[in-house]
Structure 1
Amino acid sequence: MSNNAGFNVLTFELPDGSTSTVTVKRLLNAGYAGKNQEEVRAHIDELAELGVPAPTTTPALYPVSPYLAQQTSQVQVQHSETSGESEWAIIIDDNGNELLTVASDHTDRKLETLGVAWSKNASPDVLSNKAWPLSEIKNRFDNIILRGWVGQNRDLIQEAPMTALLEPTYWLNVLEERGERIPGTILLSGTITMKTGPNQFADAWGVSLEDPEFGTISAEYQVEKMSQPIG
């Protein structure tokens, strides 16, 4: 939904059954954000062989159009070479509360070879409709598992602890320095390594965060190719 100012308004269910609302004014996607930056550099070299331009610095941070933060069950794409990415996301709601949820940064892989920032603005960031208060889980990130799966058979394509990525505290400090640790901000974490075997260019994507106390939150969506253009 959107408010009168044209901003997307997202609502999240919290563990106690209450809800939290955020009017999305800033959307940021982190990239190359693995905690082991040597592995990140090796991954950048691999991507360079596929034609993806290397970032000028790591970790990277890409501003994204705020309307692309969506809670949806369907993503429409222009061609078959797009895929999701399992990520966690920080939400700063309209009351200034900091929350954690799971998200998929759906990315145009063809466009990525021309510009990573461009590819981030080609499709939605799909977020769960549930979230956890960040203050209540900040001491157990090691125990929270991030997963991604693809296709109608839900083949596992990504799995790692949250701590494989730079932790929320790192990015909250970055937001503070940028003057963006304020209501209306959503930041996605960057993603974890994909497993070889499953086809990332699948017709469905799903992502989840699993916590031993709060359970599992997830987001799933179908990927639908648009009809052919005329002209």
Structure 2
Amino acid sequence: MSQLTFTLPDGTVENVEVTTLLNAGYAGRNQEEVASHIAELAELGVPAPTTIPAMYPISPYLAQQTDEVFVQHGRTSGEAEWALVITEDDVLLTAACDHTDRDLEVHSVAWSKNAAPDVLGSHAWRLSEIADRLDDITMSAWVGEGDGEPSTLIQTGTLADLLAPKYWLDVLRERGLYAPGTVLVSGTISMRNDVDQFADSWKVALRDPSTGDQISCSYRTVRMPTPIG
């Protein structure tokens, strides 16, 4: 299992042992946005989904708070997302980046998402405390090359672009998955066509415009040695 630690705005620290990890897919509220994302993936050879939205089970140990993601080749990339984290007595929301193997994705989206971690932020908000302004929270992603910090904007939007947390909490309850230790990652928004997604580093940030608070996660990819055999 994966052990995660989140610091909340009031300084409280929540520790969560991940028992279930789920990745939502094709989860935009705007169907044009969903169609754009499907077309974006089709350019990479990924077949269109049979059900929208989708939800993929991921190995729980892949929920990580890390600044390094190890990859086997140069065709992997992240995705700007938010994550719901169910604790013993609350639901938290944090920034997340679903790193995906794009070569494997053409064979199976579920396989590709099990090939690299879902990177989560180390800070979180209590969902109940931001529920009245969720749609105003912005979500952005940047990529970087070489040793530089991620600074090239590749994704930008708000939580209003994706299905609301309440939708997914209802799904979890219906499927008997609403329990302490469940983490659900939201699905993503379209990437800019003029930015190379196969970057060396990624950063995702959620920002609450009413308070100026920001939650982020960032990491650098590390290429593993060439296999022998």
Using the size of structure 2 for normalisation, the TM-score is 0.94
Number of equivalences: 224
Name 1:4's counterpart in structure 2: none
Q: Secondary structure, in 3 states, of the residue corresponding to 2:131? A: coil
Whether 2:90 is the aligned partner of 1:97: answer yes
Name 2:211's counterpart in structure 1: 213
Post-superposition offset of 1:45: 4.2
Q: 1:19-168 counterparts in 2 under 5 A? A: 19-93=13-87, 95-151=88-144, 152=148, 154-168=151-165
Post-superposition offset of 1:141: 1.3
* Cα distance in 2, alignment partners of residues 167 and 13 from structure 1: 23
* Cα distance in 1, alignment partners of residues 191 and 50 from structure 2: 23
Q: 1:161-200 counterparts in 2 under 5 A? A: 161-200=158-197
Name 1:3's counterpart in structure 2: none
Displaced runs of 4+ in structure 1, greater than 4 A? none
Post-superposition offset of 1:181: 1.0
Name 1:226's counterpart in structure 2: 224
Unaligned runs of 5+ in 1: 1-6
**One-letter code aligned to 2:135:** D
| Percent identity for Structure 1 against Structure 2 | 59
Whether 2:197 is the aligned partner of 1:203: answer no
Q: CA RMSD in A?
A: 1.3
* Cα distance in 2, alignment partners of residues 208 and 24 from structure 1: 22
Residue deviations 1:57-90 (CA, integer Å, cap 9, x gap): 0000000000000000000100000000010000
* Cα distance in 1, alignment partners of residues 189 and 36 from structure 2: 14
CA contact (8 A) 2:142 2:154 kept: yes
Residue deviations 1:168-191 (CA, integer Å, cap 9, x gap): 000000001011111010000000
Using the size of structure 1 for normalisation, the TM-score is 0.93
For structure 1, which segment, 50-59 or 219-228, has the greater mean C-alpha deviation from structure 2 after superposition? 50-59
Residue deviations 1:110-166 (CA, integer Å, cap 9, x gap): 100111000010000000000000000011012200010000251011110111000
Unaligned runs of 5+ in 2: none
Post-superposition offset of 1:97: 1.1
Alpha carbons of structure 1 residues 12 and 198: separation in structure 2 relative to 1, 3 Å: same
